[in-house]
Chain A
């Protein structure tokens, strides 16, 4: 069955520290992948996306993610976290040739300590 796993429900990091949010997927077809961020009571903002090509993708707000096919992973990273990065982060996977349906992970809540 198709699934997306974000193993960490809640992560707390200190401001200025590095961050890595994990995402693993199980998908029969060749996937394309997204990371979205959601602030409380808000919709989702696209951080970055991977379709093909270079497996290291750059996004907005200094985020990057690396697609590793052998590990079925698409982890999100940021070298130095800012207090404004505190939010919920969702990994999502889609399949080529589908209607565009996305499967979302359960999300990782990021808290930032001053």
Chain B
């Protein structure tokens, strides 16, 4: 149980284009999802917390207009990188909490999406 998927797993795009990454909880409903960014050989940095039906909460230094987050349903959150530039190239990982699970504080992570902006 508690499986989280991400799509796509890999994306290569041209500078200036927008990229949408999907995060789905497959066997539970997630009222809260999290988006992280991980640079090579570094730890995960929280970008934003996504709550179903409300606006995302962004961490300090993360541009809201550049990284658009939508959590329209209890099983889907999307991250759109708008007007992507090479410096946005990174590994993006989402996670979700199962509010009805035995330990609702536990975050279950997706497999990640590697973005390369040329």
Real binding pair: yes
Interface size on B, residues (CB 8 A): 24
Number of A-B residue pairs having CB atoms within 8 Å of each other in the complex: 54
Contact B32 A100 (CB under 8 A): yes
Q: Which of A42, A46, A99, A104 contacts B112 (CB 8 A)?
A: A42
Beta-carbon contacts of A49-75 to B below 8 Å, as 1s and 0s?
101000000000000000000000000
Main secondary structure of the interface of B (DSSP, over half): strand
Q: List chain A residues, Cβ under 8 A from B34.
A: 100-102
Beta-carbon contacts of B38-50 to A below 8 Å, as 1s and 0s?
0000111010010
Tell me if A41 is interfacial: C-beta within 8 Å of chain B. Answer: yes
Task: Give the interface of B toward A (CB within 8 A).
Answer: 4, 6, 32, 34, 42-44, 46, 49, 57, 91, 93, 95, 97, 103, 105-112, 114
Question: Considering the complex of A and B, which 6 residue pairs feature the smallest CB-CB distances, nearest first?
Answer: A44-B109, A43-B111, A43-B109, A106-B43, A43-B112, A104-B43
Q: List 6 A-B contacts (CB under 8 A).
A: A34-B107, A42-B111, A44-B93, A45-B109, A104-B43, A105-B43
